[in-house]
Amino acid sequence: RRQALPSACRNPASTAASRGRVLYVPMKHVDAKAGTITFDDEGTETTLSITGGRVKLQWKPDFGMRWAALGVDFEMFGKDHQTNAVVYDRICNILGGRAPEHFVYELFLDENGQKISKSKGNGLTIDEWLTYAPTESLGLYMYQRPRQAKKLYFDVIPRAVDEYYTFLAAYPRQDWKERLGNPVWHMHDGNPPAIDMPVPFSLLLNLVSASNAQNKDVLWGFISRHTQGVTPATHPELDRLVGHAIRYFDDFVKPTKTFRPADEVEREALAALDEALGALPADASGEAIQNASLNVARRIERYQDHSKQSPEGGPGVSGAFFQMIYQVLIGQERGPRFGSFAALYGVAETRALIERALAGQLA
């Protein structure tokens, strides 16, 4: 007669003896004192020790027996295990243990909203994430909203990186109530590091895209010119992000970049933007560049948003204006605040990019 728990053992020794086949067989004898089980391995009686990691339980009994053996008092598991939790608890209790407190988290989904599965290969591994972003960004992604289903694919990485450094920058300015609600307090055991991050990851990605940088030196040339006193030596964390940005761009952004030509209205808008930038000093701030861009868009009917109001009382600016700029100049659907990008890339370089677009050299 098959006994419930011992027969659930997967026997690696019998697997080897059976040329790679896993046996599901009844136990002929269980010697609890000796820690052995006896069973027939395709006609050959075999006695095997179950201690020392020599056997592996099927996943259902493994939960409860592990809790009892290790004294587990808190267990997180995915929503797909929730219906079996009563079985895990019962096994643990039968063995004299006390079932732990449960925390059930939602499933991770791919970009199409389908459950991530190792067998399907539609997921994103930890090693893949850490190739393109710091460990802390993954920690933040895992920490936030555990009871909400989350999409886990490559496009979420840049946002997670910038969110982490945003939380980190906010921490010193917060009171204790706000700090306790800040994820970095929990991620760093109440002692978050003091890191100055003058350039967001999303902005680095656009800088790589515009400059076609293949190494860190090219990007650092732009960064050091824009932010005085910032070098790889003074800002090693930023230097780490620069390397991540180049790898991420090469593998995910560059293959999908699609420039499009500007239509007549867009050509006039870009020419006006070029003229406005030409009136600014070479070291114009991101805010000055952003305001000059908005002034250009406010005069063009296509980009007027009458649901908004400009400082002068006229219509505001539609987001379609900046989307056009990124599509035509960068080959991407969207980007960070244009003024910040142009200030970092350089006024002269941005004007040269516009000139190339108008000459048909990009699309």
Q: What is the pLDDT of residues 22-38, one digit of tens each?
A: 777 888 999 989 999 99
Q: How confident is the model at residue 12 (pLDDT cuts 50, 70, 90)?
A: very low
Q: How confident is the model at residue 274 (pLDDT cuts 50, 70, 90)?
A: very high
Q: How confident is the model at residue 19 (pLDDT cuts 50, 70, 90)?
A: low
pLDDT higher for 173 or 11?
A: 173
Neighbour-count burial for 205-227, b at 16+ CB within 10 Å, e otherwise = bbbbbbbebeeeebbbebbeebb
Closest alpha carbon to 126 in 118, 117, 135: 135
The 10s digit of each residue's pLDDT in 74-96 is 999 888 889 999 999 999 999 99
pLDDT higher for 42 or 323?
A: 323
Q: How confident is the model at residue 111 (pLDDT cuts 50, 70, 90)?
A: confident
**pLDDT score, position 21:** 67
What's the CA gap between 19 and 21, in Å, rounded?
Answer: 6
**pLDDT score, position 8:** 44
The 10s digit of each residue's pLDDT in 119-146 is 787 878 889 999 999 999 999 999 998 8
User: pTM for this structure?
Assistant: 0.74
**pLDDT score, position 342:** 95
Indicate whether 184 pLDDT > 60.
Answer: yes
Per-residue three-class SS string for the chain: CCCCCHHHEECHHHHHHCCCCCCCCCCCEEECCCCEEEEEECCEEEEEECCCCCCEECHHHHHHHHHHHHCCCEEEEEHHHHHHHHHHHHHHHHCCCCCCEEEEECCEECCCCCECCCCCCCCCCHHHHHHHCCHHHHHHHHHCCCCCCEECCHHHHHHHHHHHHHHHHHHHHCCHHHHHCCHHHHHCCCCCCCCCCCCCHHHHHHHHHHHCCCCHHHHHHHHHHHCCCCCCCCCHHHHHHHHHHHHHHHHHHHHHCCCCCCCHHHHHHHHHHHHHHHCCCCCCCHHHHHHHHHHHHHCCHHHEEEEEECCCCCEEECCHHHHHHHHHHHCCCCCCCHHHHHHHHCHHHHHHHHHHHHCCCCC
**pLDDT score, position 3:** 35
The 10s digit of each residue's pLDDT in 150-176 is 888 899 999 999 999 999 999 999 999
Indicate whether 1 pLDDT > 50.
Answer: no
Bridge pairing between strands 108-109 and 150-151: parallel
Kindly state the average pLDDT of the residues 226-251: 94
pLDDT higher for 25 or 218?
A: 218
pLDDT above 90: percentage of residues in the chain: 68
**pLDDT score, position 6:** 41
pLDDT above 70: percentage of residues in the chain: 94
What's the CA gap between 281 and 165, in Å, rounded?
Answer: 30
pLDDT higher for 240 or 43?
A: 240
Mean per-residue pLDDT of the chain: 90
Indicate whether 300 pLDDT > 60.
Answer: yes
